[in-house]
């Protein structure tokens, strides 16, 4: 091969190598960046700006079971609080015993009617809250943070485990809105983690709810029509049916304890000003004693001029012990003294709130396990997600492209070398 031609081949080869190296570097950087961005989305809420508000259950909050037409029980079901039924017919309430109501049973009276009215108001509040995040019809396998959730078809089901993540906030609210039914499979469960609070979990069911055998659910189920809890289903919350019946079968229904938040009182001590007693100064040859600020009367001691060494003194005693210093021909003026009161501890009566230390201090806040019924609580909505699949895919494709480009470049380089050797 002629030298000039060989040099031309070498220069083109070098340019090609540089171009290929630049391309591979860009692809690797782009791919790595996209993968990092996709991984950074893990655990982020998909709708963190949404908020859910506790509707407040009013008097319905003290009921484990509340129904309009009938309450029917089979087996030793246990209700931790009240049972309410607006239907006054004796035949509409059956199965107690063997069922046990640890609270009060209100049937066909004003208390039951008021509880049902409050139940209706809470149901309408839940149904009217907007900004729901759409989730699959089957909630099994999901981990959700506080917020409002619905499904495109209007019906929800649960197979397996649904995890509700409070993210350290016991006031975060979870609302599940259904236009039609709620059905949980046998042995399915709702699990609360990171301070998620059953007081703030609500299932607003547009028709009827059915809880599967040996399943467990957290929160209050508010159904427009009826609720059926099948054998050994466990409810950590309430079953509140607005227009229909509640059917039980060897169930355990425990109302969660929704503690009132403690009252924090800040008391500011009234300012106290202590004025020093006036100082009296005598003529030369006399001695003046200044008394530091005190609540006791001021003591002044006067002596006659020193002439022959004999001294005549007159002393007035005070209530508080006072030390008098006498120095001939010397005037002593004590500076004004301000007396500061020590901190005062105010201990409130039992049940009022935490101890407050004065002056000008506020007791530390106390975390409570729930919210009072009727008081608002909020939570940002969203689903705990995995990595962003689009970014992850694009990153992997970029890295794959870099590998392919490298492979092509190596093959081309080998081909050029072989051609050069053959020409030589």
Write down the residue that tokens 């995890």 correspond to: 163
Helix/strand/coil for 180: coil
Length, in residues, of the chain: 424
Residue with tokens 């002056």: 359
Question: Model confidence at 366, in pLDDT bands (50, 70, 90)?
Answer: very low
Residues 6+ apart with CB under 8 A from 72: 94, 95, 245, 246, 247, 248
pLDDT at 320 over 70: no
Residue 315: the pLDDT is: 39
Distance between start and end Cα atoms, the chain: 6
Higher pLDDT, 305 or 168: 168
**Residues 296 and 239: beta-carbon distance below 8 Å:** no
**Burial classification of residue 44, based on how many CB atoms lie within 10 Å of its CB (0-12 exposed, 13-18 middle, 19 or more buried):** middle
7: pLDDT confidence band, cut at 50, 70 and 90? low
Phi, psi of 64 (to 5 degrees): -80, -40
Tell whether the model's pLDDT for residue 415 goes beyond 50. yes
Q: What is the CA radius of gyration of the chain?
A: 41
> How many CB atoms neighbour CB 407 within 10 A?
10
Kindly indicate the confidence band of residue 258, based on its pLDDT and cuts at 50, 70 and 90.
Answer: confident
The pLDDT of residue 4 is above 70: no
Q: Quick one: pLDDT band at residue 38, thresholds 50, 70, 90?
A: low
SS3 at position 313:
strand
pLDDT band at 118 (very low <50, low <70, confident <90, very high): very high
Predicted pLDDT of residue 389: 62
Question: Which of 67, 84, 79 has the alpha carbon at shortest distance from 234?
Answer: 79
Whole-angstrom distance, CA of residue 259 vs CA of residue 247 = 29
In the 3-class helix/strand/coil scheme, how is 402-422 assigned residue by residue?
HHHHHHHHHHHHHHHHHHHHH
Give dist(CA 285, CA 92) in Å, integer: 107
Quote the pLDDT of residue 392. Answer: 73
Segment 114-140 mean pLDDT: 97
CA distance 96 to 182: 26
Query: In the predicted model, what is the mean pLDDT of the chain?
Result: 74
Q: Are strands 156-158 and 100-101 parallel, antiparallel or unpaired?
A: unpaired
Q: Provide the token pair at 198.
A: 């059953």
Q: Is the pLDDT of residue 183 over 60?
A: yes
* pLDDT of 106: 98
Answering whether pTM is above 0.85, one says: no
User: What's the pLDDT score for residue 63?
Assistant: 98
Question: What pLDDT, on the 0 to 100 scale, is given for residue 85?
Answer: 98
Span 31-55, average pLDDT: 64
Across the range 366-389, mean pLDDT stands at 45
Rounded to the nearest 10 degrees, what angle do helices 389-423 and 3-40 cross at?
170
Give the C-alpha separation, 73 to 65, whole Å: 11
Which pair of tokens denotes residue 397? 């494709």
**Residue 207, pLDDT above cutoff 90:** yes
pLDDT for residue 344: 38
Question: Which has the higher per-residue pLDDT, 266 or 21?
Answer: 21
- How many of the other CB atoms lie within 10 Å of CB of 285? 12
DSSP 328: T
Average pLDDT over residues 180-186: 98
Stretch 388-404: mean pLDDT, rounded?
Answer: 76
Q: Residue 266: pLDDT above 50?
A: no
Phi, psi of 259 (to 5 degrees): -75, 145
From the DSSP assignment, how many helices (H) and strands (E) are in the chain? 3, 29
**Least confident range of 89-98, 157-166, 378-387, 400-409:** 378-387
The number of angstroms, rounded, from the C-alpha of 260 to the middle of its chain's C-alpha atoms is: 15
- With 50 as the cut, is the pLDDT of residue 158 above it? yes
Lowest-confidence region among 179-193, 232-246, 343-357: 343-357
Per-residue pLDDT band at 390 (split at 50, 70, 90): low
């Amino acid at each position: 091969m002629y030298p000039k031609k060989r040099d031309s081949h070498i220069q083109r080869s070098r340019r090609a190598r540089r171009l290929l190296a630049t391309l591979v570097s860009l692809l690797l950087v782009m791919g790595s960046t996209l993968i990092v961005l996709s991984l950074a989305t893990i655990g982020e809420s998909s709708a963190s700006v949404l908020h859910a508000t506790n509707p407040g259950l009013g008097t319905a909050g003290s009921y484990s079971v509340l129904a309009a037409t009938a309450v029917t029980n089979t087996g030793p079901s246990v209700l931790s609080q009240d049972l309410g039924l607006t239907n006054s017919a004796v035949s509409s309430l059956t199965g107690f015993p063997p069922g046990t109501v640890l609270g009060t049973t209100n049937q066909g009276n004003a208390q039951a009617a008021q509880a049902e009215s409050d139940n209706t108001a809470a149901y309408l509040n839940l149904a009217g809250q907007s900004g729901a995040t759409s989730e699959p019809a089957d909630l099994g396998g999901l981990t959700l943070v506080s917020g409002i959730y619905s499904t495109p078809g209007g019906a929800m089901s649960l197979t397996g485990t649904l995890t509700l993540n409070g993210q350290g906030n016991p006031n975060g609210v979870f609302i599940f809105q259904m236009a039609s039914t709620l059905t949980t499979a046998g042995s399915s469960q709702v699990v609360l983690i990171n301070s998620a609070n059953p007081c703030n979990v609500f299932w607003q069911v547009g028709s009827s709810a059915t809880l599967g055998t040996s399943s467990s659910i957290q929160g209050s189920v508010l159904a427009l029509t009826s609720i059926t809890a099948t054998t050994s289903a466990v409810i950590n919350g309430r079953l509140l049916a607005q227009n229909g019946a509640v059917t039980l079968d060897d169930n355990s229904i425990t109302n969660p304890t929704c503690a009132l938040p403690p009252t924090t009182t800040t008391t500011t001590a009234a300012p106290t000003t202590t004025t020093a007693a006036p100082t009296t100064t005598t003529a030369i040859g006399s001695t003046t004693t200044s008394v530091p600020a005190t609540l006791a009367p001021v003591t002044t001691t006067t002596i006659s001029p020193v002439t022959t060494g004999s001294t005549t003194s007159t002393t007035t005693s005070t209530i508080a012990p006072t030390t008098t210093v006498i120095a001939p021909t010397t005037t002593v003026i004590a500076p004004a003294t301000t007396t500061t009161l020590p901190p005062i501890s105010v201990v409130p009566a039992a049940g009022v709130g935490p101890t407050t230390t004065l002056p000008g201090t506020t007791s530390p806040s106390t975390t409570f396990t729930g919210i009072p019924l009727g008081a608002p609580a909020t939570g940002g909505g969203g689903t705990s997600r995995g990595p962003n699949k689009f970014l992850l895919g694009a990153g992997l494709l970029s890295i794959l492209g870099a590998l392919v480009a490298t492979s092509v470049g190596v093959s081309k380089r080998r081909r050029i070398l072989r051609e050069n050797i053959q020409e030589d």
